[in-house]
Amino acid sequence: MNPLPRIWSRLARLLLPGLLVSVLAACATLLPGEPPRVDVVGVEPLPGQGMELRMLVKLRVINPNDAPIEYNGVFVDVEVRDRRFASGVSDARGTIPRFGEALLTVPVTIPALNMLRQAWGLAQDDRSPITYVVRGKLSGPVWNSHSFSQEGEFRLPVGPAGNAR
């Protein structure tokens, strides 16, 4: 009787669990931790073309993880009142330190039709809060991208006579 199959079987039973644990541990390191927290901290006008409006959006990105976030591109999409309002990209590169933060700037474009829709909604004398959602992605090396989303609302200031005009 040939002892080789029995040796291979015993070797496989001993090594297979260790190999499986090693593969699972390697995959776990590829998974991103908590998503970064992103807050809009400023907006500045940029020169536009034609009927579009261009703005430079400043984002404060907070990394709540124990590992730094490397990025080599940023995408931002803004919705106002459940409608697409503006979007933009930047090929900025950098690293957000572990348990740290960074200020990123992304130029966004607001098409004329989107501006008109929002202006029409405001002209209808709607006093409800204006809701917004900022979604985006910090593109990282290989499969290490980090998506983010922030939503909120604000009200237009009310004048002394009770009007927002």
pLDDT tens-digit series, residues 94-150: 999 999 999 999 999 998 887 777 777 766 766 678 888 999 999 988 777 899 998
Mean pLDDT over 67-86 rounds to: 91
Q: Is the pLDDT of residue 82 over 60?
A: yes
Please, which pLDDT band fits residue 160 given cuts at 50, 70 and 90? low
Q: What is the pLDDT of residue 131?
A: 85
Q: What is the pLDDT of residue 7?
A: 64
Please, which pLDDT band fits residue 2 given cuts at 50, 70 and 90? low
Please, which pLDDT band fits residue 77 given cuts at 50, 70 and 90? very high
- Phi-psi category of 69—alpha, beta or left, where left has phi over 0 and alpha has psi -120 to 50? beta
Look at 110 and 165; give whichever has higher pLDDT.
110
CA dihedral for 99, 137, 104, 140, sign (positive or negative): positive
Please, which pLDDT band fits residue 4 given cuts at 50, 70 and 90? low
pLDDT tens-digit series, residues 21-75: 655 555 545 555 788 999 989 889 999 888 888 999 999 999 999 999 999 999 9
Q: Is the pLDDT of residue 5 over 70?
A: no
CA distance 109 to 87: 6
Closest to 83 in 3D by CA, of 137, 131, 153, 41: 131
CA distance 5 to 15: 15
Q: What is the pLDDT of residue 165?
A: 45
